[in-house]
Amino acid sequence: MATTAVAQPGRGFLRGLLSNNKITVLENGSFSGLRALEKLDLKNNLISTVQPGAFLGLPELKRLDLSNNRIGCLSASVFQGLPNLLRLNVSGNIFSSLPPGVFDELPSLKVVDFATEYLTCDCNLRWVLRWARERGAQISERTACAFPRQLRGAALRGARDGQLRCGEPGPGGGGGGGGGGAGSPVSPAAGAPELHTHHLIPSLRQVVFQGDRLPFQCTATYLDNSTQIRWFHNRQPVQEDEQTGVIVEESLIHDCTFITSELILSNIHVSANGEWECAVSTSQGNVSKKVEIVVLETSASYCPAERVTNNRGDFSTRSPRGRRGAGSAGEKQAWRRCDRAGRWEDGDYSHCLYTNDITRVLYTFVLMPINASNALTLAHQLRVYTAEAANFSDMVDVLYVAQMIEKFIGYVDQIKQLTDVIVEMASNIMLVDDHILWMSQKEEKACSSIVRSLERIAAHTLSSNSQHMAVNSRNIAFEAYVVKPESYVGLSCVAFQRGDGAPQGRSPPAERGAEPTPDQQLRLRCTTGRPNISLTSFHIKNSIALASIQLPPSLFASPAPATPGADCKLQLLVFRNGKLFCSTGNSSRLADDGKRRSVATPVIYAGTYGCGVGNLSEPVAVSLRHPGEGTDPVAAYWNFEVLGGMGGWSAEGCQLASREPNVTSLHCRHLSNVAVLMELSGFPSEAPGAVEVLHPAMYTCTAVLLLCLFTTIITYIVHHGTILIPRKGWHMLLNLCFHIAMTAAVFAGGITLTGYRAVCQAVGIILHYSSLSTLLWMAVKARVLYKEVTWKAPQQPDRDTFYLIASGIPLIICGITAAVNIHNYHDSNPYDLLTDSGSISVTLNSGPPCPDGDGVHSLRAQFWALVATHALYVALWTFGAMAVSQRWYLNIVFSCLYGVTAVALGLFIFAYVHPGLGPEDGSQVFIGCDPEAARSGASSSSSPSSAGSAGAAASSPTCR
């Protein structure tokens, strides 16, 4: 019940003290009759409503104190009947602004105080400053701004009109957006208003069960009639639907200050998963708040506990379905979501620091703001860290350096010294491991970004005041000129380095893999015209030429000649090798032929800026030195656009011109990055060196597999006269075991012997043969089983037929492959031996045959045993290939998987052919048939021509 203040009439009242009561409403005419009242104190009450005309009848009132109440709505009609009021105090209430003209009924007002904890000093209060100036009134010093944040605590009377703006977000305020339409969720934008109140309850992520009830309440500042609250679920508008339990209550406005909306999910369904958003739209912009809801089914299960190790730490997670699992790494947290199917999704580790010190520092560089005043300092600091690029162990190290180089390029026009630092950083990146560069290119095209940044240097640095620039580094040489097309007569450049006195024709130490010394930096020497340049007879003492390029005089000839007097920028780059040109996609149709060829020479680049280059009537002549021997050379240029923008080597427009020992010349009609690709042998000498070894688990488990297989082979050979097995089955079993053993033994013992050409070729041929023969012996066994199932009286097939199939076909295939190109069977990479992947038949004469059919296993059991053997063999081959092709922890994982599969395959074959060792029936030993039956079988097989019929007519021997 509201408490109403009513005073009794009289003429003796000068002061009315009604403070610290529980008055909630001031009704119209509450103080009528108190005409002599001069001061009225109503502070510290609960007044929330002041009706128009509440102070009528107080013509002599000079002071009115309404401070510290709950007043949110004020209008000019509230102060009617106060013509002599001098001082007004409405501070401590809940309004955030004052409507224009609220003081119009107070002609004598001189001092006003309306400070509140929500007072928003925006464009809506400009009228107060103008009113105070025009009326000579004073705004109390205590009337200070609460919002926006940049004006918090500042006295309103000291503010300028330009500071009172609408729609300008304060720092960190709002967190919402503007521009959302009626049917779209609110997205962040720069014009979001800063609301003094914006609450969403609940505010934290909720985990509920299907069928639960969950209410939402959203409360925000009410600015004007344009203020509305809308609800969204996963960025889709929420519509009320009582059938599905979605109830949206009508928005309520409280005291002209707050607006509230309620959303009730009375019967939560699994579809309620996701983000629920309360969007507040106003005439000044939009803001929103979100909360995530995770709905668990009553049968929700837990995702399995899992441990994840990456470049940001070591994480362990366990969580029920639909929830996030948190992994701890220091003080930060990482998140992984467990989906409703009980599977972990990709985790979010972005809030965790990198574990590697270098990566953390490089990440700090990326976060730093760069401008013209600090760019050179930051570049020098970053160069210090890239000097240790050979120790980079994470692809993000390369990504961050590439991002910084791209940022620095934007300042080389202002800071010429940046060019030297950028080229040196790019040169240092070429020391990074090939696999890390490949991963960074595949992830974000980091290598292409570095190359393209280098290609843009001349366009930014050269000008009429700076017409030449040259930079030398360990792995990259840079040269750029400003030329006039009408006076251009050709240009020839040679890339060279200081030598160590090595004889001509032999590569210097830097080319053979050693890191170049400062004296072996790449340098470019250019001359005009078309002099005769030979890499093998380079005239600079104690130097060796690595690459040369001749740009023809007709370079700038085009159908549309350049404007006379126009300057053209010509840039040249030489890369010591092709490490920054990583082909990541399926390049079987490109020059590298599916990575069979690789860059065997330096890469040289020429490009122009500011002038057009038409179709070259004369090709660009390039000579490149290659340190090692190679076969099948191809001239190619790097095309950034192929393979989905990843880039690749293309041979179009380039062709070989001549070849000398260690030097290849080519002609190309492209101004681009040019190189020679070759199929490198990878065998610099036959001298023995350090031989790479496999993981110990692979050797140990291969030995177990061989033990099981040879035990089976020896057992069946020694006891071939007493084992109940058909003759064809005996041959197939022994050949299958022998070829599996051959494959495993040759793989474990020879797959890493890539340093010996003859041995490597032999290993490749044997692996090819044994793997094909193993699969074909399985196919022959499957064919025999099929005939035994479908034929009522199967005939004894000719043994030579399936030997021809299982052993002859692989021999033919391997023979043809080796004859066409024996180099298919050697490569410096062990994995390539597997991608090219022989049979020595076991033709021992068996003893008297037992009748057709396995006396121990049914046809169904034999079929499933064959399927299991095939699956284990394929898995063994796959894990072996992955073990020698992967690096770091993946190598260990696949090595262990190979070991487990090898032991499983060996034990499975051993247990299958020795069922008497099983626990089910110790008496079921098939070595040793009934003596009489054996003798009967022997007599029936004395004649080869009658072996089949006699075996069929004889009684089946019983095994004990």
Task: Read off the amino acid at residue 439.
Answer: M
Which H or E run contains 608?
Answer: strand 603-609
Task: Read off the amino acid at residue 182.
Answer: A
CA distance 487 to 531: 17
- Cα angle vertex 28, ends 23, 29, to 5°? 95
CA R_g for the chain = 44
- Are 157 and 231 in the same domain? no
Asked which of 51-60, 506-515, 875-884 is least confident by mean pLDDT, the reply is 506-515
Give the relative orientation of helices 395-409 and 418-429 as an angle to the nearest 10 degrees: 160
Residue with the two structure tokens 């284990």: 872
Question: In the predicted model, is pLDDT for residue 495 greater than 70?
Answer: yes
pLDDT digits (tens, 9 = 90+) for 792-806: 444 444 545 656 665
Question: In the predicted model, is pLDDT for residue 820 greater than 80?
Answer: no
Asked which of 207-211, 502-506, 614-618, 676-680 is least confident by mean pLDDT, the reply is 502-506
Give the mean pLDDT of the chain: 77
Q: Phi and psi of 575, rounded to 5°?
A: -105, 135
In a domain, 58, yes or no: yes
In a domain, 940, yes or no: no
Higher pLDDT pick, 126 / 596:
126
Contact indicator for 480, 462 with CB cutoff of 8 Å: yes
pLDDT digits (tens, 9 = 90+) for 744-769: 888 888 887 766 677 777 888 888 88
In a domain, 938, yes or no: no
- Are 83 and 214 in the same domain? no
- Are 611 and 726 in the same domain? no
pLDDT band at 300 (very low <50, low <70, confident <90, very high): low
Listed residue (592, 605, 669, 675) closest to 632, CA to CA: 592
CA distance 705 to 699: 10
3-state secondary structure (DSSP) of residue 199: strand
Asked which of 167-171, 200-204, 465-469, 652-656 is least confident by mean pLDDT, the reply is 167-171
Structural domains in the chain (count): 4
CATH of the domain at 51: 3.80.10.10
Give the relative orientation of helices 757-790 and 859-885 as an angle to the nearest 10 degrees: 160
- Are 597 and 529 in the same domain? yes
Q: What is the mean pLDDT of residues 838-855?
A: 39
pLDDT at 596: 73
Q: What is the dihedral of CA 427, 433, 437, 443, to 10 degrees?
A: -140
CA distances from 867 to 182, 449, 734, 786 (A): 61, 50, 17, 13
Percentages helix, strand, coil for the chain, rounded to the nearest 5? Answer: 35, 20, 45
DSSP β-bridge partners for residue 543: 498
In a domain, 134, yes or no: yes
- Are 745 and 869 in the same domain? yes
pLDDT digits (tens, 9 = 90+) for 515-548: 445 457 899 989 888 777 778 777 777 788 899 9
CA distance 339 to 699: 40
pLDDT at 124: 85
pLDDT band at 948 (very low <50, low <70, confident <90, very high): very low
Choose the most confident range, by mean pLDDT, from 27-41, 252-266, 393-407, 585-599.
393-407
- Are 483 and 401 in the same domain? yes
pLDDT digits (tens, 9 = 90+) for 714-734: 888 887 777 667 777 777 788
pLDDT band at 681 (very low <50, low <70, confident <90, very high): low
Contact indicator for 595, 659 with CB cutoff of 8 Å: no
- Are 161 and 203 in the same domain? no
Q: What is the mean pLDDT of residues 329-341?
A: 65
pLDDT band at 165 (very low <50, low <70, confident <90, very high): confident
Contact indicator for 495, 533 with CB cutoff of 8 Å: no
Q: What is the mean pLDDT of residues 356-367?
A: 90
- Are 490 and 370 in the same domain? yes
pLDDT band at 452 (very low <50, low <70, confident <90, very high): very high
Question: Long-range CB contacts (< 8 A, 24+ apart) of 382-389?
Answer: 382/425, 383/421, 383/424, 383/425, 383/428, 385/358, 385/361, 386/424, 386/425, 386/428, 386/429, 387/428, 388/358, 389/428, 389/429, 389/430, 389/431, 389/432
Higher pLDDT pick, 840 / 880:
880
Question: In the predicted model, is pLDDT for residue 450 greater than 70?
Answer: yes
In a domain, 613, yes or no: yes
What is the token pair recorded at 356? Answer: 């590697």
pLDDT band at 810 (very low <50, low <70, confident <90, very high): low
pLDDT band at 693 (very low <50, low <70, confident <90, very high): confident
What is the token pair recorded at 198? Answer: 């914006």
pLDDT at 467: 85
Q: Collect all residues with Cβ–Cβ distance below 8 Å to 328 and sequence separation of at least 6.
A: 315, 334
pLDDT band at 150 (very low <50, low <70, confident <90, very high): confident
In a domain, 189, yes or no: no
pLDDT band at 614 (very low <50, low <70, confident <90, very high): low
DSSP β-bridge partners for residue 549: 493, 622
Contact indicator for 147, 196 with CB cutoff of 8 Å: yes
Q: Where among 618, 643, 678 does a domain terminate? A: 618
Question: In the predicted model, is pLDDT for residue 778 greater than 50?
Answer: yes
CATH of the domain at 380: 2.60.220
- Are 377 and 494 in the same domain? yes
Sort strands 306-310 and 285-296 into parallel, antiparallel or unpaired: unpaired
Question: In the predicted model, is pLDDT for residue 946 greater than 60?
Answer: no
CA distance 219 to 172: 19
Q: What is the mean pLDDT of residues 387-396?
A: 91
- Are 213 and 137 in the same domain? no
CA distance 930 to 840: 34
pLDDT band at 812 (very low <50, low <70, confident <90, very high): confident
Choose the most confident range, by mean pLDDT, from 221-230, 333-342, 723-732, 858-867.
221-230
- Are 415 and 489 in the same domain? yes
Question: In the predicted model, is pLDDT for residue 200 greater than 70?
Answer: yes
pLDDT at 842: 35
Question: In the predicted model, is pLDDT for residue 690 greater than 70?
Answer: no
pLDDT band at 953 (very low <50, low <70, confident <90, very high): very low
Asked which of 182-196, 610-624, 775-789, 881-895 is least confident by mean pLDDT, the reply is 182-196
Q: What is the mean pLDDT of residues 556-560?
A: 62
Question: In the predicted model, is pLDDT for residue 604 greater than 80?
Answer: yes
| Verdict on whether the full-model pTM lies above 0.75 | no
Burial track 350-389 (b if 16+ CB lie within 10 A, e otherwise)? eebebbbebbebbbebeeeebeeeebbebbeebbebbeeb
Question: In the predicted model, is pLDDT for residue 116 greater than 60?
Answer: yes
In a domain, 235, yes or no: yes
Listed residue (772, 775, 756) closest to 830, CA to CA: 756
Task: For the chain, give the number of residues.
Answer: 960
Full residue range of the structural domain in which residue 213 is found: 198-296
CATH of the domain at 221: 2.60.40.10
Which H or E run contains 623?
Answer: strand 620-625
pLDDT at 952: 29
pLDDT at 817: 67
3-state secondary structure (DSSP) of residue 486: helix
Report the side by side order of strands in the sheet with 523-528: 523-528, 491-498, 543-551, 620-625, 663-668, 654-660
pLDDT at 40: 92
What is the token pair recorded at 338? Answer: 């467990």
- Are 442 and 535 in the same domain? yes
pLDDT digits (tens, 9 = 90+) for 423-439: 999 999 999 999 999 99
> Is the bond leading into 202 cis (omega within 30 degrees of zero)?
yes
Higher pLDDT pick, 190 / 894:
894
Q: Phi and psi of 386, rounded to 5°?
A: -75, -15
In a domain, 108, yes or no: yes
Listed residue (81, 273, 63, 288) closest to 178, CA to CA: 288
pLDDT digits (tens, 9 = 90+) for 68-81: 999 988 888 888 88
Q: Phi and psi of 547, rounded to 5°?
A: -160, 155
Higher pLDDT pick, 157 / 343:
157
